[in-house]
A = this chain, B = another copy of it.
Amino acid sequence: MAYAAPLREIEFTLSAMAGADALGGLARFAEAGPDLRAAVLGEAAKLCEGALAPANAAGDAHGARLENGVVRTAPGFAAAHAALAEGGWYGVAADAAHGGMGLPHAFWCAANEMISGANLAFSMCPLLTVGHIEALEAHAPDWIRALYLPKLTSGRWTGTMCLTEPQAGSDVGALTTRAASNDDGTFAITGQKIYITWGDHDVAENVSHLVLARTPGAPEGAAGISLFLAPKFIPGADGAPGERNRIKVLSLERKLGVHGSPTCTMAFEGATAWLIGEENRGLAAMFTMMNNARLSVAMQGVGLAGAATAMALGYARERRQGRTPNGAGPIVEHAEVRRMLATMCARTAAARAVAYACAVAGDMGRAEDAPGRAGWAARAAFLTPIAKAFCTDVGFETASLNVQVHGGMGYIEDAGAAQLLRDARIPPIYEGTNGIQALDLVGRKLADGGEAARALLAEMAAGSDAPALAEARAALAATTDWMLAAGREDRAAGAAPYLRAWALTFGAHLMARGAAADPSFAPLSAVMQTRELPAVSALCREATDGAAALEALPLSDAAAFA
């Protein structure tokens, strides 16, 4: 499928809604003003349109294959990786000390949106590698950073995260992979990991694995997990890949979508590894990386939503069917088709705005000289689960609406809409299911007594005074109070609708800000308010319904009504 990067929409969102222009005023990102940003993102757009999108259909049809223990990627994927590496994209937000560009994470997010919209299966390779780089930057000893980071930021090596085991999915604390000390500073890792994205491949010369495992005698559960680094080929001091480590790919998953992304079941058979960070503090180390990875997955949702919306608009502007109000016009002139397209455009714009607002807050929170830095960091933390869940849900919803706009053609695999739908179903699941995100929101993210939530509500109240926005804010504020007073189960029972209410309200708020900056954006902001915001009151009612009604359902009983 042809892919046209939504460069103007991204630029407008960053600048007029998410406040990214402020980043250029900070010492840390002094060069990252609007001019550099436009130049950098323009390059990303070209690369996505020219090298990544053309390989997308082949990735789906061909898939990744396991041949004699080695993963072979689909035609065009090695070239996509090479183009991305050559452009320096793996290190765009990494520290300049080890080959990175030191640009804001928000710039990486914008590139990632385009990469994901062009080729979701491929996008997971840079997504995991960027997360890997962040984890090493934050937690690895100096010699590992010096040895690994230049390889990773240049894209000569790629990185993975090895968390999940068959019995330990959402509950990472239940994992059983063991790490025994080799008495030479290294460890021997033994265990099986599943769902390892890009766990092996043929597009780069080495693969660096971050592995969660338990040392002997470690406490049970989450408190006894440590983080290790285990490369596919053990590098010499000069960085040249050496001996093959004892890591095997046992199989690849046959998945609904993202066929081009190799999802590996991997056996660590006494693999040589190095401890990253402190012993038994692996989960905390992994979490610093996962927060950014969650935002990266949110960007996948935005990328998919943008691609689906563009595909639907393109089809609806060409396809003629039935009598339109103006005669025999294309189906975009049918009110019911316009309704679907308007829903897609509004939700995509809201998702994009929420995601970039989160990204900019994260950059502000990381910049030493940002005024109110702690507040920005809290804002980013609060918005991360909202962005991850909402953007990925919107990615799937718009992909499904895209199929519907295409009618029968949407159900045929050749048209591209079906692949987009299949691909779009994974982001709501991985990197913490969207249910986990909602629980994070009503748990950890309200554990500050509602400070971050109330700061956002106050900011919104100082914005547009449109009645639809005021109504949504009032419902959200009351629901926030309810959540803060409620017990754990009651909060959990309303977590998902509460998260969606937040996303719609904050998204509509940012879109109103966009409309104030550019009147040509006002019609979409108006549709967001009249067609999407009414759901907030309903969501808040569901959010405050409590756990009792759910507990009254005999769901555990196979003999009961269902």
Known: A169-B407, A336-B439, A338-B551. A413 touches B256 (CB 8 A): yes
Per the bound structure, the CA–CA distance linking A316 and B170 in Å amounts to: 14
Complex interface: chain B residues within 8 A of A561 (CB) = 8-9, 12, 520-521, 524
A558 close to chain B: CB less than 8 A = yes
A residues engaging B (CB < 8 A)? 6, 8-9, 12, 164, 168-171, 174, 194-195, 253-257, 309-310, 313-314, 316-317, 321-323, 325, 330, 332-342, 345, 396, 400, 403-404, 407-414, 418, 421-422, 425-426, 428-430, 433-435, 438-439, 489, 492-493, 495-496, 520-521, 523-524, 526-527, 530-531, 534-535, 537-539, 541-542, 545, 547, 549-556, 558, 560-562
16 contacts between A and B (CB under 8 A): A169-B408, A171-B322, A254-B412, A256-B421, A325-B489, A334-B492, A338-B551, A342-B555, A345-B553, A400-B425, A421-B425, A422-B422, A527-B549, A531-B542, A535-B535, A535-B538
Complex interface: chain B residues within 8 A of A400 (CB) = 396, 425
Check if A534 sits within 8 Å of B542, measured CB to CB: yes
A169-B407, A169-B408, A407-B433 are known contacts; what are 9 more A-B pairs with Cβ within 8 Å? A313-B562, A330-B556, A336-B435, A336-B496, A337-B435, A338-B493, A339-B550, A400-B425, A531-B542
Known: A336-B495, A556-B332. A255 touches B412 (CB 8 A): yes
Check if B438 sits within 8 Å of A336, measured CB to CB: yes
Distance (Å) between the CB of A373 and the closest chain B CB?
Answer: 33
Per the bound structure, the CA–CA distance linking A359 and B137 in Å amounts to: 64
**Which of A164, A422, A428 has the largest number of chain B CB atoms within 10 A?**
A422
Closest to A344 in B: B562
Complex interface: chain B residues within 8 A of A439 (CB) = 336
Per the bound structure, the CA–CA distance linking A538 and B497 in Å amounts to: 14
Check if A523 sits within 8 Å of B426, measured CB to CB: no
Distance (Å) between the CB of A504 and the closest chain B CB?
Answer: 11
Check if A341 sits within 8 Å of B555, measured CB to CB: yes
Q: Which of B169, B332, B408, B541 contacts A164 (CB 8 A)?
A: B408
Check if A435 sits within 8 Å of B404, measured CB to CB: yes
Check if B537 sits within 8 Å of A534, measured CB to CB: yes
Check if A430 sits within 8 Å of B408, measured CB to CB: yes
Per the bound structure, the CA–CA distance linking A400 and B345 in Å amounts to: 22
Per the bound structure, the CA–CA distance linking A524 and B552 in Å amounts to: 8
Distance (Å) between the CB of A272 and the closest chain B CB?
Answer: 28
Complex interface: chain B residues within 8 A of A550 (CB) = 335, 338-339, 342, 527
Complex interface: chain B residues within 8 A of A435 (CB) = 336-337, 340, 404
Distance (Å) between the CB of A1 and the closest chain B CB?
Answer: 15
Complex interface: chain B residues within 8 A of A535 (CB) = 535, 538
Known: A309-B562, A553-B345. A426 touches B414 (CB 8 A): no
